[in-house]
Amino acid sequence: MESKKITTNPIEYMRRLLQMRKEIERENYTELNSTEHRLEKVGEFNYVEYINDSISTDLDSTWLALEKMEKPIIWIVGGVDKGNDYGVLADIMREKVKAIICLGKDNSTLFKIFQYQNIVPLIVDAKEMKEAVEYSYHWAKKGDVVLFSPACPSYDLYENYEVRGNSFKNSVREFFDQRIK
**Whole-angstrom distance, CA of residue 116 vs CA of residue 121:** 10
pTM of the model: 0.80
**Which strands make up the sheet holding 97-103, listed edge to edge?**
40-45, 48-52, 145-148, 73-77, 97-103, 122-126
DSSP class of residue 103 equals E
Among 163, 106, 82, 96, CA closest to 129: 163
What class is the 36-180 domain? Answer: alpha beta
**Whole-angstrom distance, CA of residue 51 vs CA of residue 48:** 10
Q: Which pLDDT tens digits describe the chain residue by residue (181 residues)? A: 444 455 566 777 666 766 766 665 555 444 444 578 899 999 999 899 999 999 999 999 999 999 999 999 999 998 888 888 888 899 999 999 999 999 988 888 888 888 878 889 899 999 999 999 999 999 999 999 999 999 998 888 899 999 999 999 999 999 988 877 6
- The ranges assigned to domains in the chain are 36-180
Among 157, 148, 155, CA closest to 38: 148
DSSP of 46-65: TTEEEEE-TT--SHHHHHHH
Interhelix angle for 161-180 vs 129-139, to 10°? 50
